[in-house]
Homo-oligomer: A and B are copies of this chain.
Protein backbone atom coordinates (compact mmCIF):
# COMPACT_ATOMS: atom_id res chain seq x y z
CA UNK A 1 0.00 0.00 0.00
CA UNK A 2 1.17 3.49 -0.84
CA UNK A 3 -0.05 6.67 0.77
CA UNK A 4 0.04 10.43 0.28
CA UNK A 5 0.54 11.32 3.91
CA UNK A 6 3.81 13.11 3.53
CA UNK A 7 2.47 15.37 0.77
CA UNK A 8 -0.82 16.10 2.50
CA UNK A 9 0.99 16.92 5.71
CA UNK A 10 3.46 19.19 3.90
CA UNK A 11 0.61 21.02 2.18
CA UNK A 12 -0.63 21.95 5.62
CA UNK A 13 2.83 22.66 7.03
CA UNK A 14 2.32 20.18 9.82
CA UNK A 15 5.23 18.41 11.46
CA UNK A 16 4.99 14.67 12.04
CA UNK A 17 4.38 15.54 15.67
CA UNK A 18 1.52 17.90 14.75
CA UNK A 19 -0.16 15.14 12.77
CA UNK A 20 0.52 12.57 15.47
CA UNK A 21 -1.21 14.83 18.01
CA UNK A 22 -4.27 15.23 15.79
CA UNK A 23 -4.43 11.47 15.21
CA UNK A 24 -3.64 10.67 18.84
CA UNK A 25 -0.82 8.31 17.93
CA UNK A 26 2.91 8.51 18.51
CA UNK A 27 5.21 10.47 16.19
CA UNK A 28 6.98 7.20 15.41
CA UNK A 29 3.74 5.72 14.10
CA UNK A 30 3.25 8.64 11.72
CA UNK A 31 6.86 8.33 10.59
CA UNK A 32 6.60 4.57 10.09
CA UNK A 33 3.44 4.91 8.01
CA UNK A 34 4.94 7.72 5.90
CA UNK A 35 8.14 5.82 5.25
CA UNK A 36 6.18 2.71 4.30
CA UNK A 37 7.28 0.51 7.16
CA UNK A 38 3.72 -0.61 7.76
CA UNK A 39 0.10 0.21 7.06
CA UNK A 40 -2.15 1.77 9.67
CA UNK A 41 -4.96 -0.19 11.27
CA UNK A 42 -8.39 0.38 9.75
CA UNK A 43 -9.56 2.62 12.62
CA UNK A 44 -6.44 4.75 12.27
CA UNK A 45 -6.94 4.94 8.50
CA UNK A 46 -10.41 6.34 9.20
CA UNK A 47 -8.99 8.97 11.56
CA UNK A 48 -6.38 9.92 8.97
CA UNK A 49 -9.07 10.32 6.31
CA UNK A 50 -11.15 12.45 8.67
CA UNK A 51 -8.17 14.59 9.56
CA UNK A 52 -7.54 15.41 5.91
CA UNK A 53 -11.24 15.49 5.03
CA UNK A 54 -10.76 12.92 2.31
CA UNK A 55 -11.76 9.33 1.65
CA UNK A 56 -9.45 6.50 2.59
CA UNK A 57 -9.17 5.62 -1.09
CA UNK A 58 -7.96 9.13 -1.89
CA UNK A 59 -5.08 8.77 0.57
CA UNK A 60 -4.15 5.09 0.38
CA UNK A 61 -3.77 2.96 -2.74
CA UNK A 62 -2.83 -0.64 -3.33
CA UNK A 63 0.65 0.03 -4.74
Contact = CB atoms under 8 A, between A and B. Distances in A.
B43 A41 contact: no
A46 interface: yes
Contact residues on A (Cβ < 8 Å of other chain), bracket = 10 to 19
Interface of A: 1, 39-43, 45-46, 49, 55-57, 60, 62
24 contacts: A1-B42, A1-B43, A1-B46, A39-B41, A39-B42, A39-B43, A40-B42, A41-B41, A41-B42, A42-B42, A42-B45, A42-B56, A42-B60, A43-B62, A45-B45, A45-B56, A46-B60, A46-B62, A49-B57, A55-B55, A55-B56, A55-B57, A56-B56, A56-B57
